[in-house]
Structures are given as structure tokens and as C-alpha cells.
Amino acid sequence: MIGRSLAGALLGLTLAIALTGLAVLCWPGDSVHVLVPAVVVFFPLYMVLILSAFLYRSASRAWGWMASANLAAFAALWIAQHTLPGLPS
């Protein structure tokens, strides 16, 4: 239980941030206009990801899958940051 909780609480947090961040950057309109809705979506997404750590067959699978998802999400986020207009500076 501790292993899964940690996987959910830590990797779920970073994954939720990366996924909502990615959605904001990829938003077809102006990204600035969906910032608050994105933060609102972040919280339930984080809760779902914490729960998802308890659906894998074992704690190590939870760590493995969630770490891979993090890698993929942050790679996509990095690409989005360097190719899309993003937020005004």
C-alpha cells in the first residue's frame, strides 16, 4: 500500500501537471484563456491518477507504468514548449 501510495502521490502529481500543462500549450486558441480551467482540471486528474496506482497488479508495475507515462508526458511537454507559441512573456 505504501509503495502504491507514493507512486500515486508523487508520480501522479508530476504526471497531472505535465498533462494539464501540455493541454494548455496545445490548446487551439490562445493558451492564456484556459489557464484557470486547466488548474481546475488538474485537481480531479491528480485524484484519478493517485487512484490509478491502486489498479495495477503490483506496486512495481504502478511505479514502472507511471514513470514511463511521466517520461512520455514531459518529453511531449518539452517539445510543445519549444515549438508552440506558449504563454506571452
Partner 1 sequence: MRAETRRRLTELHTWTGLIAGFALFIAFYAGALSVFHDEIDTWAVPHPPAVSTDLIQRADALMAKVMEEHPASRAQIGMTLPGDHPSHEVAVYWFDKDWHVQGLDDAKPRGEDDEHEGLADFVYSLHYTLGIPELGIYLMGLVSIVYGVALLSGVLIHLPHLVQDLFALRPGRNLKRLWQDAHNVIGILSLPFHVIFAITGALICLMTVAMVAFNVMAFDGRLVPLEDSLTGASPTVIASNVPAPMLPPHVAVEKARAVALASGAEGFDPDYMRYLQYGDRNAAVEVRGRSGKTLGEYGSVALSAVDGRVLGVQVTGARDANHATYAAIFGLHFGTFGGTAVKWLYFLLGLAGAFLFYSGNLLYIESRRKRRSADQPLKVRAMATATVGLCLGSCAAITMTFCANLAAAAAGFDAALIVKPVFFITLLAAFGWTLWRRPARAAVDLLLLTAALSLGVAIADVALHGLRVEDGGAALAVNITCVGMAVGFGSLARATARRARSGDSNSVWAVAG
Terminal Cα-to-Cα distance of the chain (whole angstroms): 43
Instruction: Establish if 84 lies at the interface with partner 1 (CB under 8 A).
Output: no
Closer CB to partner 1, 44 or 64, in the complex: 44
Q: How many residues touch partner 1 (CB under 8 A)? A: 35
Residues 6+ apart with CB under 8 A from 67: 11
Instruction: Write the interaction track for partner 1 spanning residues 27-66; mark x where CB under 8 A is met and - where it is not.
Output: -----xxxxxxxxx-xxx-xxx-xx--xx-----------
Q: Where are the alpha helices (DSSP H) in 1-89?
A: 2-6, 12-26, 35-52, 59-83
The minimum distance between CB 64 and partner 1, in angstroms, equals: 17
